[in-house]
Amino acid sequence: MTYADGFAYKKLSPVLRFILLSGAAWVLSTNVVLGTEVSSQTTRLDSQKRERTETSLFAQASTNTNSISNLKIIKVTNIKVNSTDKGLELILETSQGKQLQVTNNSDGNSFIADINNAQLGLNDGDRFTQEKPVAGITEITVINKDANTIRITVTGENGIPQAELFDSNQGLIFGFKPAVTSLNQAPAATEEKPEQTPTSQQNEDVIELIVTAQKTPENLQDVPISITVLDRDQLESADVRSFDDVAKNTPNFSVFGSGTNRLSPFYSVRGISNFNAFSRDGVGIYVDDVPYDLGAFLNLGFNDLERVEILRGPQNTLYGRSSLGGVINVVTRKPTNEFELKNSISYGNYDTFKAQTSISGPLVEDKLFFRLSGDYTTRDGYVRNTFLDRDVDGGSGGNSRVKLLWTPSPDWEVSFNASFDDYREGAAPYVLLNQPDPSETELDFNGFTNIVNNAQSLKIAYDKPDFRFTSITTNRFSNQKAAYDSDATTADGEINAPDFTSKLFSQELRFQSPESADKLKWIFGGYFESSKFENNRPFIYGADSLALGFPFPAGENKVDVESDTKTYAVFSQVSYKPIERLTLTTGLRYESTNSKIDATETFTSTDGSLVIPLLSIQDVEKNGDALLPRFVAEYKLTPNLMTYGSISRGYRPAGASFQPISEDTAVFDAETSWNYEIGLKSSWLDNKLNVNLALFQNSVNNFQFPSISGGNVVIDNADINVTGAELEVRATPATGLDIIGGLGLVNSRFKNGNDIFTGQSLEDNRTTFSPDLTYNLAIQYRSLGGLFGRLELAGFGTTYFDDLNTIKQDPYALVNVRAGYEFKKYGIYLFANNIFNTEYVTQVFDGIAGRYGTYGAPSTYGVQFTSRF
């Protein structure tokens, strides 16, 4: 059995070869120092040690943006130093009394504070220095660290000066008290400590830095949404490289790939999945503002990440695209005003090699900046085809990204992002589940999976004292070509050869209140999206097809489907504080969609003597619109304890089937929901312990679900009910020790409906790809000496793979370990994933030869080396 396109997953595109060679060269160039790494994490004060960044994230998710932090440049117009009875105060005055966002760390005897989204605009230059302002402090310097950040360095004689932060209408005031050396304590300057990386920094006293009452950004604990944020420190410490890795650190978010292959992964958030067969996703997924959809194009690698944000529940009044289940927002690192270089290489079993690199710096100092990044991965397969003596899966590929940032003035910021992905892999490693060894199979055809993706976005932001305006324009092209042995035997039966193409263009406009707004905050926006999906899939039948039970003799059954969808939407949200502790929010969205579909299906025998037209559909259309309100009330019981409640309507538009079997099955109805949520967010022990809880109940009408039989997939609608809860805990019980945990419970069941092919009732059945339990735990330790260790546990409850609930995966848990040593600019780590080699299935279907599916990755281990300059 053959397939014309063949399989050449070992071949690598010139772009990816360039990235690999460049990354290897940069890793080896350890004698070239291009600059220091710019950290954009928002941190807590530390009083006694070397650099440690502990996140205290400021968020805007409850007010406006596609990312949690999206501020404009604030100009510092004057700096004053005044003596006090305790030491001194440092005053940074801002234009129009705007407030500033601060992060901090320390180095030796120096206290260092970075002020994000700010620049010096002094009359006498862009640098302020004062030597020996008071006894015990040797020097104060204030400089522009890069185009987005001011750095303050205050150096003490006998140790790190103690720092306090005060609110002021002038801007920002630091209070500094010199460190005092006791008779039994050596000066800090004489202590010898091993060099460590920025990620190996340590903190002792956790003090939250809160900007003044007129701020727009909010502490994550103040956002009235069930939200998980993985910052750069967590992403690097856990070596997060995919959506699957993100899910293992997030309650009520699960990803089920085609084993370890990139062919059509499924996911669910709070019981809402994308298992509606290439129709509109129930969750909004963004990578650098570009909306991604369709399972065939989601399983891409991650590189050079700044943070990943997972917002659970409908987010229709903040984002351009409607999202019934939630939003997953991936943000990569921004260009910098100083040159920096970062690399990572790793090698492990199954001959797995991974390389990542990024370089950033100014093209025009203080005005125009660039960032280039890329990664490359290659490995052998996890499943061996003993019949052909070849691996089924495995392969190679990677991505590259370029980012440009232009700041012509403090009011304007223009950013352009472009990415390219190219993966050449083996087939999805489907194996019959009744065989004893899941790492072996017998197939007469091995197959392949090729994915190419390119995306671009242009973001223009204009910030004035009375308003802010943002325009986001995006374009994306994705193509997946694959082929696999769908009879899962050595017989010459059937090859399924998906050929999917997706094109998407979107334009979003936002007009919103200024950052200084406090009592009243507002946003108005508009959104347009044009998307096109093409399914040009042949089913290739061999000589044994009729004997195996397939409906056709040797030949090709060619499916050609083209669907076009236009989306128009306007949205708004207003938040008002009638009293200081109470905030009331209301939002409204109107969305209109139009979908059209053309489809043909024709069988042609191998010799051409038999041609059978099976389907012809032209200009079938489906329209829909909806009003989507949102109401939120949040109340601060204490400064560290907030409770909230929300009511919102969710919406997944009506659409066109990716592969109809008749005109009646060509389109399906819109999915709507009413969502009720209450939550509690709390901080304890000087912010060393954060505990967040959310309870939710969603009533979903016309839930879009597939019925599957004999390779045919039909989308239908039924009502479901979803209830559940999320608990998240983060603790820092001792210096260098972090404990992060999450628990998700969800009960998602059909209220009515029938399977299209069998007619069986689905009432009270569980929905597919929605575990009733998820939990995650990470225990991580970094010592002052540079030792690093991390232990991870990720668990999943019972999961069903079909609407009739006849196929399921029982509960299971995975354990990962990571340990290493971190120097100032280098790190070396040993890692092991799934250390107990737990067997679990990720997708299962009924086939001609029996039930077949894909298994998750087996136990893997290796070594990783990182460097940064």
User: Rounded to the nearest 5 degrees, what angle is found at the Cα of 748, between the Cα atoms of 742 and 749?
Assistant: 160
534, amino acid identity:
E
Of 75-79, 296-300, 816-820, 861-865, the range with the lowest mean pLDDT is: 296-300
Mean pLDDT of the chain: 84
User: Rounded to the nearest 5 degrees, what angle is found at the Cα of 180, between the Cα atoms of 179 and 184?
Assistant: 130
Contact 120, 76 (CB under 8 A): yes
Of 64-68, 386-390, 505-509, the range with the lowest mean pLDDT is: 64-68
Q: Does the structure show a pLDDT above 60 at 283?
A: yes
Q: Does the structure show a pLDDT above 90 at 260?
A: no
Pair of tokens at residue 652 = 């997944």
Widest CA span in the chain: 100
502, amino acid identity:
S
CA–CA dist 765, 758 (Å, integer): 15
What pLDDT is recorded for position 100?
A: 66
Terminal Cα distance for the chain, rounded: 52
Residue with the larger pLDDT of the pair 2 and 807: 807
CA–CA dist 377, 454 (Å, integer): 18
Kindly report, residue by residue over 293-325, the tens digit of the pLDDT: 776 677 777 889 998 999 999 988 887 788 899
Over residues 708-735, the mean pLDDT reads 91
Task: Tell me the DSSP string of 23-79.
Answer: HHHHHH-TT----PPPP-----B-SSSS-------EE-TTTT-SSS-----EEEEEE
What pLDDT is recorded for position 9?
A: 37
Mapping DSSP to helix (H, G, I), strand (E, B) and coil, where does residue 479 land? Answer: strand
- The CA distances from residue 99 to 118, 463, 851, in Å, are 10, 14, 61
What pLDDT is recorded for position 82?
A: 84
Exposure string for 450-466, b = 16+ CB within 10 A, e = fewer: bbbbbbbbbbbbbbeee
CA–CA dist 797, 774 (Å, integer): 6
Over residues 738-743, the mean pLDDT reads 96
Residue in the block written with tokens 């991604």: 292
Contact 755, 709 (CB under 8 A): no
CA–CA dist 571, 315 (Å, integer): 11
| Among 598, 495, 513, 616, residue whose Cα is nearest residue 556 | 495
Contact 257, 425 (CB under 8 A): no
Contact 827, 818 (CB under 8 A): no
- The CA distances from residue 86 to 82, 89, 164, 175, in Å, are 11, 9, 11, 9
What pLDDT is recorded for position 738?
A: 94
Mapping DSSP to helix (H, G, I), strand (E, B) and coil, where does residue 84 land? Answer: coil
Of 92-106, 147-161, 336-350, 466-480, the range with the lowest mean pLDDT is: 92-106
What pLDDT is recorded for position 68?
A: 38
CA–CA dist 135, 128 (Å, integer): 19
CA–CA dist 329, 288 (Å, integer): 8
- The CA distances from residue 809 to 481, 841, 843, 845, 856, in Å, are 29, 7, 9, 12, 12
What pLDDT is recorded for position 158?
A: 75
Q: Does the structure show a pLDDT above 80 at 54?
A: no
Over residues 204-215, the mean pLDDT reads 31
Query: Residue 252 — very low, low, confident or very high, per pLDDT cuts 50/70/90?
Result: very high
Query: Residue 148 — very low, low, confident or very high, per pLDDT cuts 50/70/90?
Result: confident
Kindly report, residue by residue over 68-80, the tens digit of the pLDDT: 344 467 888 888 8
What pLDDT is recorded for position 45?
A: 31
**pLDDT > 90 fraction of the chain, expressed in percent and rounded:** 60
- The CA distances from residue 481 to 259, 264, 445, in Å, are 17, 11, 16
**pLDDT > 70 fraction of the chain, expressed in percent and rounded:** 85
Over residues 458-479, the mean pLDDT reads 94
Residue in the block written with tokens 């347009």: 528
Residue in the block written with tokens 């920002």: 172
Of 42-46, 532-536, 661-665, 700-704, the range with the lowest mean pLDDT is: 42-46
Q: Does the structure show a pLDDT above 90 at 560?
A: yes
**Edge-first strand listing for the sheet containing 272-273:** 253-258, 261-269, 272-273
For 144, phi then psi, to 5°, come to -80, 105
Over residues 40-52, the mean pLDDT reads 33
For 664, phi then psi, to 5°, come to -65, -25
Residue with the larger pLDDT of the pair 318 and 350: 350
690, amino acid identity:
N
- The CA distances from residue 426 to 260, 392, 399, in Å, are 10, 6, 18
Burial of 164 per CB tally in 10 Å (0-12, 13-18, 19+): middle
Task: Give the gyration radius of the chain's Cα atoms.
Answer: 28
For 672, phi then psi, to 5°, come to -130, 160
- Cβ neighbours of residue 35 under 8 Å, at least 6 residues apart? 336, 338, 339, 340, 341, 361, 869
Task: Tell me the DSSP string of 521-552.
Answer: EEEEEEEEEEEEEEEEEEEEE-TTHHHHT-SS
Query: Residue 83 — very low, low, confident or very high, per pLDDT cuts 50/70/90?
Result: confident
What pLDDT is recorded for position 170?
A: 62
Strand partners, 705: 716
The 10 Å Cβ neighbour count of residue 735 is 17
Query: Residue 38 — very low, low, confident or very high, per pLDDT cuts 50/70/90?
Result: very low
Mapping DSSP to helix (H, G, I), strand (E, B) and coil, where does residue 97 land? Answer: helix
Over residues 207-234, the mean pLDDT reads 64
Contact 64, 514 (CB under 8 A): no
| Among 222, 210, 17, residue whose Cα is nearest residue 103 | 210
Pair of tokens at residue 142 = 């204030």
CA–CA dist 118, 217 (Å, integer): 14
What pLDDT is recorded for position 302?
A: 86
Query: Residue 602 — very low, low, confident or very high, per pLDDT cuts 50/70/90?
Result: very high
